[in-house]
Structure 1
Amino acid sequence: MSQSGKLLKNALIYTVGNLGAKLLSFLMVPLYTFYLNKADLGTYDLLLTTVTLLAPFISIQMAESAYRWLLDVKDNDHNRQSTAISNSLLVFLVNNIAFTLLFAITQLFYKVPYATEFAIILFLNGLLGYLQQTARGLGLNKLYSFIGFSLTFFILVSNVVFVVVLKMRLDGILYATIISTLVAIVILANRSKIHQYIRFNTISKKEIKSMMAYAWPLIPNTISWWLINEVNRFIILFALGVDANGIFALSNRFPSIILIVNSIFMLAWQDQAIAIHDSEEKDAFYSKIFNVFLTLEFTLVIALTAVSKYVVKLVASPAFFNSWYYMPILYLSVAFASFSAFLGVGYLGSKKTKGLFTTTVYGSIINVAISYLSVRYIGLYAPCIGTCVGFVIIWVLRIRQTRAFVKLKINYTNLAVMLGVTFAVMYLVTLNNLYTDVLCILIAVATLFIANKSLLQYLYGFVQKSFASFIPKHSRS
């Protein structure tokens, strides 16, 4: 099978387990907006934002180290697998215990709302993420996908029970999250048989030091969406208030549609890019996939920009309708974030992760500066623009840095055309005219099929061959 075929096959496997989970954040919008007020939604979003921020620091990204080390294991060497898992798991648990004790002491002097629920969610999310990455490293991609699908089901059912039936509002959402995550952890640990890889005699100070040196620069990269976007919520909270934070929170839910595609693709791309890192065809393969990915991203941005106001009107309460104004810029931000993440895989393959740290820090500084200095003058547009510019800076810096280990050839003509169409549609939708709105939708549909013609043809051929392989030869004759 070709490298493109392997990439697509892995992407399809990950899609099964991740599509529902990624769609969930979008599908839960009606429930959250109708059963929570703006303040509750803002508090919940701030809680999850803080979890997203702290999790990489507490885990020190040892899940990523375990995954990368396991990919280097040849012939299912059980001893080397045990070494990678035992050492990374030890660091993960020690750091979580230390944080829990520190957090408990802090509670004696400053009471944090929902402190117990917060601490439990933080630990369980980190543990589930560690077990998922370990499963990927062991080649258990189908199990990884199964857990993602199961978690989606558990969260959906428990949210309906606690929020809709029992009417527990914010408390219900937190309880649903805890119970669902815990069930997923038990299933994953049992199916992956991770206990068979935990051996104390493989603990090595040298190995831990090496894994931590690889992992720590990944912390800002992992929370880059927080550093470049989520930190804006604290700026909004102090400058504009909790209601504005609720509006911004909903605006951020809709870009998750693009994140659905990105996160699934990035999982498969990470597997494939690391596997071919030392291959002579690496540069050509990187360039081919990136240019296809770039076109797909912009067509998604255009399509979502064209229909956002109508989707918001359909699924959210009237109090949140104005959130659609900020979505187009956030869609574009997600696109450039994905371009940055694409190049970030090159750092992982070479195990030179320091560049991930520096580029993310520079982008973060730009974002904070723009958001903080302009939020009182242009309101919620400030964090949106700051987010977008921050990710553009990261992408440009990574293009320059990664030339040392991958020479990416970008189709700049196509980039200019796609940007032009994107900006045109972003302007037209602000006119609030039915005819221009219809025109934008027609442009989006045309761009989607024309610009992605080659990709769609390849996908059709791949799916056709895949189905044909399941049909016995005598049945086709």
Structure 2
Amino acid sequence: MNKYKGLLVNIGLFALNALATKLMAFILMPLYTLYLTSGEFGIMDMSTVVINLVFPVFTVSIASGVLRFIIDDKQHTKFYATEGLLVIFVSCLVVLICLPFLNLSIFGGLGQYKWLFLISYAFSSLQSYLAEVARAVDQIKLISVSAIFSSLVMAGSAFITIAWLKMGLVGYFISFILGNVLAFVIFMFAGKQWRLLSIRSLFENRELRKELYRYSLPLAPNTIGWYISTAFSRFLITGILGVQSSGLYAAASRIPNMLNALQQVFSLAWQVSSFQEYKKKSVEHFYGVIWSFYLVGMSLGSSVFILLSNWLASILMQKNFYNAWTLIPILVFAFFVDSINNFQGVIFQAKMKTKSLMMTTLIGAVVCVTTTALTLSSMGIIGACFGVVLGNITILIIRGKAVTQLMAVNWHYPMMVVLMAFIVAQVVMVVFVTTIPYIVPCALCVVQIVISVLFLSPYIKSFMASGE
């Protein structure tokens, strides 16, 4: 199977995973917004934010390192898999010690559910780590199977505990834990990953530990920086505007996250292909072809979601949550810029330049947090949206220059700017200049499609002529 077909097959398998997890989350969204108050929804979202925030820090992003090194060094798979799992267990102990901090006001009342949060973190981190191991050892199908069954269990138990038993947030935590427990069992036993664990290997291959952590450690602050630029604003919103406003912002973020789910499908498959191909002679052509299709796909997807944002909000955002729909187009534009950053970030990882990756992300995070802090009081929730946008653009400018020195790929920056201009124009028309007929931004989208097709035509011909 050649590199293009391999990438497409992995994208398809990861798409099943996203369909089972991300799509299920959106299906459950009307349930959450119907039975939970905006404050409870804010706490629920805060638990997700905190888990995603502390996971890379307390685990020093060991999962990413394990994926990268197992692909390159199959001979020492047991060492990498065991070392990573040991770090996950240590991170659970660190979370246990830090539980009292959840009582702080910036966490919006999450401290009331601290023990449920601890269990949620433990099984969420275990299943996330084992999924990375599955990617590394080519158990891609198992990831989809795990996602489907764990999502079904999570959804079923959520309806029972929240809608039927009226357990509120406790019901949410129970359903979240049950889904992750099942995923853990599937990976460990159905996938027989327990066979990859060996305490003996930790002592026999100690010399490998230094390089593993040298690669992984910079990814921890890098992930934190990325997460700050996309989600840390919720802490500021909670502290300045209250947990109800945080809940509205979280609800508005769920719709752009549908696009993010599609991007993550590609990213999961792209990481594997990128790590496998980066040493080969034809790597620049391979990266260039994939980048061209990716850029067009992300831009058109963003435009469509902007045009449909009001309609999607009317379906997925019940009661007073609907009033936050005007945030969606701005967050979609922020997603588009971030999707470019993510693609280029994989190249930094393939080239083992994780320190440079970390620096670009942290600079963008500082811009995001500063902008949000300065504008939140005067502009309200929309200030947080602008903070995310400016942070992502900062990363794009800095990283875009650096990545050209790492790999001789034609990044088509003029075309990128054109597509970005189309998206910005649509955001302005949909959100800020509502007197313009809706047909105008729709017409812009049609023009964008035509330009994109013309841009891709030589790549399609080249792709077909290569026989790949």
Length-normalised TM-score, structure 2: 0.91
The code of the aligned residue for 1:97 comes to L
Structure 1 CA distance for aligned equivalents of residues 223 and 120 of structure 2 = 18
Deviations 1:24-49 (A, max 9, x none): 23222211111111111111111211
Structure 2 CA distance for aligned equivalents of residues 442 and 404 of structure 1 = 38
Structure 1 CA distance for aligned equivalents of residues 77 and 280 of structure 2 = 24
TM alignment of 1:75-474, pairs within 5 A:
77=75, 80-100=76-96, 102-103=97-98, 112-204=111-203, 205-430=206-431, 436-441=437-442, 443-444=444-445, 447-448=448-449, 451-452=452-453
- SS of 2:80's equivalent in the other structure is helix
Number of residue equivalences: 457
Query: In the TM superposition, what is the alpha-carbon distance from 1:400 to its structure 2 partner?
Result: 2.2
The code of the aligned residue for 1:103 comes to C
Structure 2 CA distance for aligned equivalents of residues 104 and 215 of structure 1 = 25
TM alignment of 1:52-63, pairs within 5 A:
52-63=52-63
Deviations 1:241-295 (A, max 9, x none): 2221111111110111111210000011111111111122222222222222111
Structure 1 CA distance for aligned equivalents of residues 312 and 101 of structure 2 = 43
Structure 2 CA distance for aligned equivalents of residues 65 and 402 of structure 1 = 21
Query: In the TM superposition, what is the alpha-carbon distance from 1:423 to its structure 2 partner?
Result: 2.0
Deviations 1:393-446 (A, max 9, x none): 112222222334312312233223212221222122136869822443454366
Partner of 1:16: 16
Deviations 1:364-408 (A, max 9, x none): 100011010111111112111110111111122222223343123
Query: In the TM superposition, what is the alpha-carbon distance from 1:339 to its structure 2 partner?
Result: 1.0
Kept in 2: contact 1:59–1:96 (CA 8 A): no
Kept in 1: contact 2:345–2:357 (CA 8 A): yes
The code of the aligned residue for 1:158 comes to S
How has the CA–CA distance of structure 1 residues 106 and 243 changed in structure 2, closer, same or farther, with 3 Å as cutoff?
closer
Query: In the TM superposition, what is the alpha-carbon distance from 1:105 to its structure 2 partner?
Result: 7.1
Structure 2 CA distance for aligned equivalents of residues 103 and 329 of structure 1 = 35
Deviations 1:184-209 (A, max 9, x none): 11111102212212222211443233
RMSD of aligned residue pairs (Cα, Å): 2.7
How has the CA–CA distance of structure 1 residues 98 and 374 changed in structure 2, closer, same or farther, with 3 Å as cutoff?
closer
Deviations 1:335-375 (A, max 9, x none): 11111111111122122211121111100100011010111
Kept in 2: contact 1:228–1:387 (CA 8 A): yes
Partner of 1:27: 27
Structure 2 CA distance for aligned equivalents of residues 35 and 290 of structure 1 = 43
Structure 1 CA distance for aligned equivalents of residues 104 and 366 of structure 2 = 31
Length-normalised TM-score, structure 1: 0.89
Deviates more, 1:199-208 or 1:239-248: 199-208
The code of the aligned residue for 2:330 comes to I
Kept in 1: contact 2:67–2:135 (CA 8 A): yes
Query: In the TM superposition, what is the alpha-carbon distance from 1:69 to its structure 2 partner?
Result: 1.5
Kept in 2: contact 1:87–1:207 (CA 8 A): no
Kept in 1: contact 2:18–2:262 (CA 8 A): no
Structure 2 CA distance for aligned equivalents of residues 238 and 411 of structure 1 = 41
Deviates more, 1:59-68 or 1:402-411: 402-411
Kept in 1: contact 2:42–2:247 (CA 8 A): yes
Query: In the TM superposition, what is the alpha-carbon distance from 1:211 to its structure 2 partner?
Result: 1.4
Structure 2 CA distance for aligned equivalents of residues 373 and 258 of structure 1 = 28
Query: In the TM superposition, what is the alpha-carbon distance from 1:308 to its structure 2 partner?
Result: 0.8
Partner of 1:40: 40
Structure 2 CA distance for aligned equivalents of residues 443 and 16 of structure 1 = 32
Query: In the TM superposition, what is the alpha-carbon distance from 1:107 to its structure 2 partner?
Result: 8.5
How has the CA–CA distance of structure 1 residues 432 and 424 changed in structure 2, closer, same or farther, with 3 Å as cutoff?
closer
Deviates more, 1:146-155 or 1:439-448: 439-448
How has the CA–CA distance of structure 1 residues 375 and 305 changed in structure 2, closer, same or farther, with 3 Å as cutoff?
same
Unaligned segments of structure 2, at least 5 residues: none
Deviates more, 1:223-232 or 1:133-142: 223-232
Kept in 2: contact 1:251–1:326 (CA 8 A): yes
How has the CA–CA distance of structure 1 residues 185 and 107 changed in structure 2, closer, same or farther, with 3 Å as cutoff?
same
Deviates more, 1:171-180 or 1:199-208: 199-208
Structure 2 CA distance for aligned equivalents of residues 91 and 284 of structure 1 = 38
How has the CA–CA distance of structure 1 residues 445 and 2 changed in structure 2, closer, same or farther, with 3 Å as cutoff?
farther
Kept in 2: contact 1:307–1:441 (CA 8 A): no
